[in-house]
């Protein structure tokens, strides 16, 4: 199997950083929700952060498996304050939409480079992003329905606290 082109290697390295930045963003949101005593939402964000680290490592391993060189870049400080739980989840959704665009751009680059193994790997991410956006969007819509109803917010918080971690595909074998 041919190794990664330098262009694709650089782009994948940038995506590793974006995935790690995503984890950092979600950990910051987790801390915000902990401070608000919304433990269920904090739990949801913590699991989201863990997923993003797994995504970064999936690309990390892929670059290494293809004979590339992983080079990690700096991670920016994430936002730490939000006006409301709704704003935090709206920002999470917007972040996922940004990541979706980045994944789609990577896929286009892999296609331009005729790099089929990278296209196959990125297809998993494309499917994953559909789920990521759907999940965040559902919470945004539920928070809009709840509005200023404190009891409704607590019920939603409890529901989000029941989220289970994703099973690793390696565990399914």
Q: Residue ranges per domain, the chain? A: 6-164
Write down the pLDDT at residue 42.
98
Nearest Cα neighbor of 126 from 147, 148, 104, 149 is 104
Write down the pLDDT at residue 2.
67
Low-confidence residues in the chain, pLDDT < 50: 170-173
DSSP letter at 147?
Answer: T
Write down the pLDDT at residue 169.
54
HSE-CB at 91 with a 13 A cutoff on CA atoms is 18
Nearest Cα neighbor of 25 from 53, 43, 42, 49 is 49
Domain 6-164 has CATH 3.30.310.50: no
Write down the pLDDT at residue 173.
38
Question: Chain-centre distance of CA 164, in angstroms?
Answer: 16
Write down the pLDDT at residue 167.
78
pTM of the model: 0.92
Q: How far apart are CA 145 and CA 1, in angstroms?
A: 51
């Amino acid at each position: 199997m041919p190794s990664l082109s330098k262009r694709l290697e650089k782009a994948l390295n940038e995506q590793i950083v974006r995935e790690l930045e995503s984890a950092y963003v979600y950990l910051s949101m987790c801390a915000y929700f902990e401070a608000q005593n919304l433990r269920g939402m904090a739990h949801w964000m913590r699991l989201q952060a863990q997923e993003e680290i797994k995504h970064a490592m999936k690309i990390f391993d892929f670059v290494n498996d293809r004979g590339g060189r992983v080079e990690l870049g700096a991670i920016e400080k994430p936002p730490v304050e939000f006006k409301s739980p709704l704003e935090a989840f709206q920002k999470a959704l917007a972040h996922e939409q940004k990541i979706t665009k980045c994944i789609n751009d990577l896929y286009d680059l892999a296609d331009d480079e005729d790099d089929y193994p990278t296209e196959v790997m990125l297809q998993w991410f494309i499917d994953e992003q559909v789920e990521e956006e759907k999940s965040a969007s559902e919470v945004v819509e539920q928070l809009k329905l709840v509005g200023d109803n404190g009891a409704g917010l607590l019920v939603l918080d409890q529901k989000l606290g029941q989220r289970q971690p994703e099973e690793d595909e390696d565990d399914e074998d």
